[in-house]
Amino acid sequence: MYKIAVIPGDGTGPEVVREGLKVLEALGNANLKFAFTHYDLGGERYLKTGEALPDSVLDELRRFDAIYLGAIGHPDVKPGILEKGLLLRLRFELDLYINLRPVKLYPGVETPLKDKRPEDIDFVVVRENTEGQYAGAGGIIRKGTPHEIAIQESVCTRMGVERCLRYAFEYARERNRGRKVTLCGKTNVLTYVFDLWERVFHEIGERDYPDITRDYAHVDATVMWMVKNPEWFDVIVTENMFGDIITDLGAMIQGGMGIAAGGNINPEGVSMFEPIGGSAPKYTGQNVVNPLAAISAAAMMLETLGEKESAERIEKSIVTVCQKHLKSMAAGQMGYSTSEVGDLVVKYL
């Protein structure tokens, strides 16, 4: 029995999470049972109570096997409050130090990249998820005056860099596709933090992962190759902010936000899974957004829990739905409603 905390969150989050839960329930396996506990965290609760994530709730969340998240972001809440107070706080407090974002083009899904097929777009981004500019180091002085100074520094620790790199190497080994890890950095300008990243990359790579090919690309070149030659990538590892940026491009080349899922992972603790698309306020309540990203996040959750077979069943079913049914991955253009797409995934399980 897996204890899962469910945070549907804001906007279209609840609509897509509903479909993910529907699919999990439908797996119908006597050996695989879930106990779901819902939490009403998000913009509405913040507007009512002024709290984004009370300490008591955070402590409860530590006791689950996994967390399933819809989306965070509310049009009436100033940008930064829910992001920092809820999403980033969960990442930091639960030490979800890996943000795992597969970029995979499923058969039947359209990519904006001309002449690229599913076998060309199949890589994984391992994004460091607790450090870099996200650590919040810096500040503003003399605010609002002509002498104002704003500083936002990138924090990279040996420990944080090493555990992220190790995860990437291990992942490439386990995945066994190209057995290659590409470090995405900016060694020509960010000469302090990427000096650290690059040194640790080669040091542990040479010693502990001699079977894995090491490759390096600057972040600006990485986005160029992602468009021109995505087939070159197997596992890309990078720091937090670069990972944030390149994975939105990744989502686009795999068919859009409607299909892109991610995991915020603490390999030694409780992990959190989410569609990476956000709360999409303009579609809220219309039953038109694509739930496949959320369903795919549920599959990632199962995989991380060690339920590989069930995860594969869901993934296969998603592929069938893409191939046989959906006209597009975009909200309102699928040819089906959100709940109908969930029903289709259940049908092919």
Residues that bind ligand IPM (CB under 6 A): 83, 87-88, 244, 276
Instruction: Select from ligand IPM, Mn ion, none the partner in contact with residue 265, using the beta carbon and a kind-dependent cut-off of 5 to 8 Å.
Output: none
274 in contact with Mn ion (CB under 5 A)? no
3-state secondary structure of 127: strand
CB 330 within 8 A of CB 256: yes
| 299: DSSP letter | H
From the candidates 10, 46, 68, 186, give the one annotated as an active-site residue: 186
For Mn ion, the closer of residues 118 and 278 by Cβ is 278
Q: Min. distance of Cβ 244 from ligand IPM in angstroms? A: 4
Note if 10 is an active site residue. no
For Mn ion, the closer of residues 11 and 342 by Cβ is 11
Determine how many CB atoms are found less than 10 A away from the CB of residue 261. 27
Q: Within its chain, how far is the Cα of 98 from the centroid?
A: 9
CB 64 within 8 A of CB 37: yes
3-state secondary structure of 155: strand
Note if 208 is an active site residue. no
Q: Min. distance of Cβ 134 from ligand IPM in angstroms? A: 7
Helix axes 219-228, 240-253, angle to 10 degrees: 10
Instruction: Select from Mn ion, ligand IPM, none the partner in contact with residue 44, using the beta carbon and a kind-dependent cut-off of 5 to 8 Å.
Output: none
Instruction: Select from Mn ion, ligand IPM, none the partner in contact with residue 161, using the beta carbon and a kind-dependent cut-off of 5 to 8 Å.
Output: none
| 87: DSSP letter | I
Instruction: Select from Mn ion, ligand IPM, none the partner in contact with residue 83, using the beta carbon and a kind-dependent cut-off of 5 to 8 Å.
Output: ligand IPM
Q: Min. distance of Cβ 283 from ligand IPM in angstroms? A: 17
Per-residue contact flags (x/-) with Mn ion for residues 241 to 260, judged by CB under 5 A: ---x----------------
Note if 220 is an active site residue. yes
For ligand IPM, the closer of residues 264 and 304 by Cβ is 264
For ligand IPM, the closer of residues 260 and 346 by Cβ is 260
In b/e form, how buried is each residue of 157-192, taking b as 16+ CB within 10 angstroms?
eeebbbbbbbbbbbbbeeeeebebbbbbbbeeebee
The helix (H) or strand (E) run that includes residue 184 is strand 180-185
Q: How far, in Å, are 15, 177, 192, 231, 283 from residue 287 at the CA level?
A: 7, 37, 48, 35, 8
Residue number, nearest CB to ligand IPM: 83
CB 275 within 8 A of CB 102: no
Note if 228 is an active site residue. no
Q: Provide the annotated active-site residues.
A: 134, 186, 220, 244, 248
Task: List contacts with Mn ion (CB under 5 A).
Answer: 244
